[in-house]
Amino acid sequence: MTKSPITPTPDDGCAWVTGASQGLGLAVAERLATDGWRVAASARNREALTALAERSGGRITAVPLDITDLDAVRAAVAGIEDEVGPIARAVLNAGTYIPETALTFNSVDARTQVELNIMGTIHCLDVIMPAMVSRGRGQIAVVASVAGYRGLPRGAVYGATKSALNTLAESLRFGLEPAGVRIQVINPGFVRTPLTDKNDFAMPFRMEPDAAADKLVRGLARRDFEITFPQRFTFLMKRLRSLPYETFYALVSRGTGAS
């Protein structure tokens, strides 16, 4: 039987946020807790997660985790569902960014990004989707990036991983939505995090983590497949996708100083 996904509430279970030790993931975990959710927060930084849990007043549970380890993901999700509650909402935000150019490109850094950004997310999906489908309800948000819209300077592998996440979520929606599970993709512009602090170029309309988390969480309440912000910047990025290559390369080179 085909079902229309219902947006979950805190009464349906807990929220799981990966990459929750800093930046956008941390802000999302805190925002969901403020909204009444019991939150399981995961990342590799145990100390940061412990501090987050301690200041949450009991609303956030620290679940240290390396999502590149499938067995660890299975154990973590089982622990969350036993101790915190069924995962009704998952925000799969964990990822990394290693800037590179054609002259610094190397397979070691590439593999690091592919393993965490793509395979880590796939591990999480592999574990949480069957339970949600069996319950006939749930919500998954996959955090990608507008960097996945088109190839940009200094982000060949990062952009490729985020493009892959967009395609992954698009494809999974065909099977999840009829089963009652909502999947959405999050494509932020620049958000101030330790990752964007690596950039040595101007970042138009860069948002603070709390403001970005507000946009993300508000988007989870809507039926839109894609949640993207800030609107002025992401509108421009969407337009780049339709430009012919000569125009695209000329505009991006001029705007970023890339050659």
User: Residues with catalytic annotation?
Assistant: 158
Rounded Cα–Cα distance for residues 120 and 127 (Å): 11
Distances (CA, A) of 153 to 214, 252, 257: 29, 8, 9
Please answer whether residues 89 and 139 qualify as being in contact, where contact means their C-beta atoms are separated by less than 8 angstroms: yes
Please answer whether residues 118 and 125 qualify as being in contact, where contact means their C-beta atoms are separated by less than 8 angstroms: no
SS3 state at 191 = strand
Of 239, 250, 221, 218, which is closest to residue 139 (Cα–Cα)? 221
SS3 state at 129 = helix
Of 85, 47, 45, which is closest to residue 65 (Cα–Cα)? 45
Peptide bond into 153 cis (omega under 30): no
Report which secondary-structure segment, H or E, holds 123.
Answer: helix 121-135
Q: 67: exposed, middle or buried (C-beta count within 10 Å: 0-12, 13-18, 19+)?
A: buried
Q: How far apart are the first and last CA of the chain?
A: 54
Rounded Cα–Cα distance for residues 172 and 162 (Å): 15
Please answer whether residues 24 and 30 qualify as being in contact, where contact means their C-beta atoms are separated by less than 8 angstroms: no
